[in-house]
Amino acid sequence: MSDRLIQDNDLVFLILDERRRWLVQVEKGKEFHSHLGIIKFDDIIGNTFGTVVFSHPHDTQGYKFYVLKPLPSDYVIYMGRKTQIIYPEDAGLILMYSGIRPGSKVIEAGCGSGALTCILGTYVQPNGHVYSYDIREKSLRTAKRNITRANLHEFVSINNGDILIDDLDHENVDSVILDMPQPWMAISKVKKYLKFSGVLVSFSPTIEQVKKTTFALQENDFTEIYTYELIKRTMQVKENATRPQVRMIGHTGYITVGRKILEIKNPYRERKPKKFEKVSLDGMPLKE
């Protein structure tokens, strides 16, 4: 996307109000239809992000829509999907604790709709790459479509593959992201793809999955193993009535992280005497 002008085939975030908002791809000569009128994409193309557009016909509709450049969080919430999403707050934590940055090589197992994949692809630019795998044909089709719409196909590969069975042609990967029902079964397999000090991140909805994943990480020589849960609360800001929103999402999932190390048994502090050693206190000053 251009940093200044909206181009043909760009994704835009179209906002009417707090509830009605859409992630749409603008195309010359085409339109976006809603019950509040028609948005002509030719009215948007060539303008800057952060402007407004009015629905046609102007004399009977004329509603004002805001046109913004999509944020990574917008990809998560508003792109087409068939599976449960990872919410923006969880995606942010994954980025922070995985160390993903420009130039990172990332394996993702379980691409789903490609929402998190889009976020990962956004942050590895311009020299990194995300290799995403799934075994569900519907998910693969949806993810590929969303990656193309987000113009991230140069930085993301969507592949049909089973992380538990297939031998993937990867080595020295910076991070592995698991979003799958049985992540503990994949840890011994994906460990060989990670570089030393690389990070494995697993997203799971239940604590039983977390326990099995944690034990598997410990058995496979990972360190710095932690599990987090994030709860985000939106504030309602009004004149003389500012308080937390009454309704909120109480639980999204658990995020478990661990780092791969080259484990070597300590030959020093763990060395035990060959026979019982008695320490003599003769001649030592003792308190009365």
Name, in order, each residue with C-beta under 8 angstroms of 155's C-beta and a sequence gap of 6 or more.
121, 124, 125, 126, 128, 129, 130
Q: What is the mean pLDDT of residues 16-31?
A: 90
* The token pair that represents 193 in the structure block: 């793809």
Sign of the alpha-carbon torsion through 7, 28, 73, 212: negative
pLDDT band of residue 171 (cuts 50, 70, 90) is: very high
User: Is 203 in contact with 255 (CB distance < 8 Å)?
Assistant: yes
Domain residues of the chain, as ranges?
11-70, 73-260
* Helix ranges restricted to H, the chain: 72-78, 88-98, 115-124, 137-149, 187-190, 207-219
pLDDT of 287: 63
The whole-number pLDDT of residue 136 equals: 92
Whole-structure pTM value: 0.77
Q: What is the identity of the amino acid at 147?
A: I
Among candidate residues 58, 79, 61, the one with its CA nearest the CA of residue 12: 79
Is beta strand 129-134 parallel, antiparallel or unpaired with respect to 105-109?
parallel
Q: Is 5 helix (H, G, I), strand (E, B) or coil?
A: strand
Q: How many Cα neighbours within 13 Å face the side chain of 21?
A: 16
Q: Nearest Cα to 201, choosing from 139, 155, 125, 254? A: 254
pLDDT in tens, 230-272: 988 889 899 888 999 888 888 899 999 999 998 888 878 766 6
How confident is the model at residue 273, as a pLDDT?
65
- At residue 8, does pLDDT exceed 60? yes
Q: What is the CATH number assigned to the segment(s) 11-70?
A: 3.10.330.20
Which two tokens mark 61?
């509709």
> Which CATH number, 3.40.50.920, 2.40.10.10, 3.40.50.150, 3.90.550.10, labels domain 73-260?
3.40.50.150
pLDDT for the residue numbered 268: 80
Q: Tokens for 46, please give them.
A: 């060539």
User: How many Cβ atoms from other residues are within 10 Å of residue 51's Cβ?
Assistant: 13
Q: How confident is the model at residue 19 (pLDDT cuts 50, 70, 90)?
A: confident
* Average pLDDT rounded to a whole number, residues 66-93: 80
Q: Tell me which DSSP letter residue 280 carries.
A: P
pLDDT-based confidence at residue 150 (cuts at 50, 70, 90): confident
CA 31 to chain CA centroid, Å, is: 31
pLDDT for the residue numbered 2: 44
Each residue's pLDDT tens digit, 188-200: 999 999 999 999 9
The yes-or-no verdict on residue 41 having pLDDT over 50 is yes
**Are the beta carbons of 11 and 150 closer than 8 angstroms?**
yes
